[in-house]
Amino acid sequence: MSTAVRSHAKINLGLHIGAPRADGYHALATVYQTLELHDVVTVKARRTTATSVSLTSNDSRVPTDARNTAWKMVMLALAALDLSAEVEIHIEKRLPVQGGLGAGSANAVAALVGLEAELGISVRGWITRRLAVAAEVGSDVPLFLVGGTVLGLDRGQQVYPLSDIEPVWCVVATPAIGVSTPQAFRDWDALCAEERLTAEASTVKLNELSRAYASAFSGAVPGVGWEQAPPVSSRTKRTWPDP
Whether residue 205 lies in the annotated active site:
no
Whether residue 140 lies in the annotated active site:
yes
213 CB burial (10 A radius; 0-12, 13-18, 19+): buried
The DSSP secondary structure of the chain, one letter per residue, reads --EEEEEEEEEEEEEEEEEE-TTS-EEEEEEEEEEEEEEEEEEEEEE-SS-EEEEEESSTTS--STTSHHHHHHHHHHHHHT--EEEEEEEE--SPTTSSS-HHHHHHHHHHHHHHHHHT--GGGGHHHHHHHHHHH-TTSTHHHH-SEEEEETTTTEEEE-PPPPP--------SS---HHHHHHHHHHHHHHHT--HHHHHHHHHHHHHHHHHHHH-PPTTSSTTTS-SS-SS-S------
Task: Catalytic residue, from 72, 93, 140, 154: name it.
Answer: 140
**Rounded Cα distance, 21 and 200, in Å:** 8
Task: Catalytic residue, from 10, 39, 93, 154: name it.
Answer: 10
Which positions are catalytic? Answer: 10, 140
